[in-house]
Amino acid sequence: MNELLPIYQHPALTVLVDDSRSFLDSVAFRMNPQLAYRIFDEPRTALDWLRNEYQHLEPHTSEIIRVGYDEATDSLERRSASIDLEQVYRTVADRRRFGTPAVLVVDYAMPEMDGVEFCRAAREIPCGKIMLTGHANEKIAIDAFNDGLIDCFIRKNAPDAMERLEAAVIKLQKDFFLRRTSTLRDLLTRHTYAFLSDPAIETLVEQLCSQHRFVEHYLFPHPAGILFFDGKGRATLMVIATRNSLTTQRELAEDEAAPPELLAALRELRLVPFFSDTHGRYLGETGNDWLQYCLPPQVCEGRETYYWALFELPGHYLREPVYSYAEFLRDQAG
């Protein structure tokens, strides 16, 4: 699972549950300030809140994949599916996205309802689950893990407990988004977007996120690539091309009587284009201004050779201002 790139991923909530408010405040104080969280000191209140959140959280895939059937015959065997990939990156228009509960951290030793009972009651809630235990409860935690009630457990008195907790939260947030779009990812990786399952691209995305402080990413359709947003909501598009896709770009440009210099550069793999004013492809109206839409490629060697470049995303691709993660954290704090 770790060798897959989620179709989209953004920061989401970590929900902390413990009957001790002072312990919750201590954990929250020591957590990475870039991790958003919500705390509950009453387990049943936490359960009610989680169930309500997921009751109103429709699978994002349903907005992207539309399944129809042959109306003339009313036959369910003659079904068709249409995919609107623009809906993936338009998720940034949803101000509520950062409030999605993706990871649950629950203490085992709670008098009203212990951590295992809580996770059993929350079994249908599709977020990652971490249980904090004491040394004496380790056997119970192992049984809960083997039963599929939790994804991992951490001894809360261990010297590296906070480091392990943060690492587990980051991993389970990614797993949450992988599960949420697994159907769509399985469809897309068979064709144009095979790079989503290439470990080399996953590693590259992680490096770019670290280097440029990107906190969100979304699959982008035309041209194929990954759209990043940093904490302030600034957008950067990584166009990901292959020899085949650049050949297709050249053939389309030839049909539009593109300048010979552009055709030669595409043939020789010397540039990556993003014709942002003409829906991602060269059109005759672009004329001799084509160079401003192109960058020299960087190369990523994976299951095949990828040619990529980072472009600023023009504002006309986004219908409204992006609600940034920095704004969300300020709103949460105040």
Instruction: Report the interhelical angle of 243-255 vs 260-267 (nearest 10°).
Output: 160
- Residue 77 has what pLDDT? 52
- Residue 177 has what pLDDT? 93
- Residue 6 has what pLDDT? 92
User: Bridge partners of 15?
Assistant: 38, 104
Taking only the tens place, the pLDDT of each residue in 5-36 is 999 999 999 999 998 889 888 888 888 888 99
> In the block, which residue shows the tokens 């909501």?
233
Domains along the chain?
8-181 (3.40.50.2300), 189-317 (no CATH)
DSSP track, 121-150: HTTTS-SEEEEEE-GGGHHHHHHHHHTTS-
**Spans of the chain, pLDDT less than 70:** 1-3, 56-82, 136
Q: Is 74 left (phi over 0), alpha (psi -120 to 50) or beta?
A: left
- Residue 49 has what pLDDT? 95
- Residue 138 has what pLDDT? 85
* Residue 14 and residue 329 in contact, taking contact as beta carbons nearer than 8 Å: no
Alpha carbons 205 and 214: distance in angstroms, whole number: 9
- Residue 28 has what pLDDT? 84
Taking only the tens place, the pLDDT of each residue in 217-258 is 999 998 999 999 999 999 999 999 999 999 999 999 999 999
Return the closest-CA partner of residue 256 out of 223, 288, 285, 276. 285
Model confidence, pTM: 0.88
